[in-house]
Amino acid sequence: MHLCKYVWLSLCINVFAQVYKYTKIIKQDSIMNEETLFEESLTFIKSNLDATFDVVPGYLREFWMIEGDSDPNDPSTIKQWSVFMYALLEYKKSKNITEFRLAQGELYELFNTWQVILSLAEINEKTDISIKPVKLFDFDHLATEIEVIVKDLE
């Protein structure tokens, strides 16, 4: 799959805005709609590309997580795929890479790896299992970080 500049991301953002404009979720005693959460996600990512999962607000992590299948053609996953693609493109941009290629399978695998890291953050936060925080947007090293975490847990 050839990702050219920010065309794909723009498409996802527009679709996301249309599909989820009126949907709302709860954020710390107040209601924040998904459009606002999406905008806040982009702002957080742009300002915190080196952030480890433990510094990402829990309500943003929850917004980014998918429960179940991660099929990008499923309308219920558009927001997560859009946030992921924005983060990936910002990461590549920070490395001065404005064009790159990923096969469809590689993209799915990278997205699923990112989802695993988000799940590990939840485990770290909500259980007694301590997991070393890793950079959530360091897409070149996410798979390696999972291997290290698994070895640490053995």
Q: Quick one: pLDDT band at residue 76, thresholds 50, 70, 90?
A: confident
Confidence category of residue 72, pLDDT binned at 50, 70, 90: low
The pTM assigned to this predicted structure is 0.76
More confident residue, 95 or 150: 95
pLDDT tens by residue, 6-46: 344 444 444 444 444 433 344 343 446 888 999 999 999 99
- What was the pLDDT predicted at 57? 95
C-alpha distances in Å from residue 13, one per residue of 29, 125, 146: 27, 29, 29
Q: Return the structure tokens found at 5.
A: 């500049």
Q: Any long-range contacts for 43-46 (C-beta under 8 Å, 24+ apart)? A: 45/83, 45/86, 45/87, 45/90, 45/137, 46/90
89-130 residue pLDDT tens: 999 999 999 899 999 999 999 999 999 999 999 999 999 989
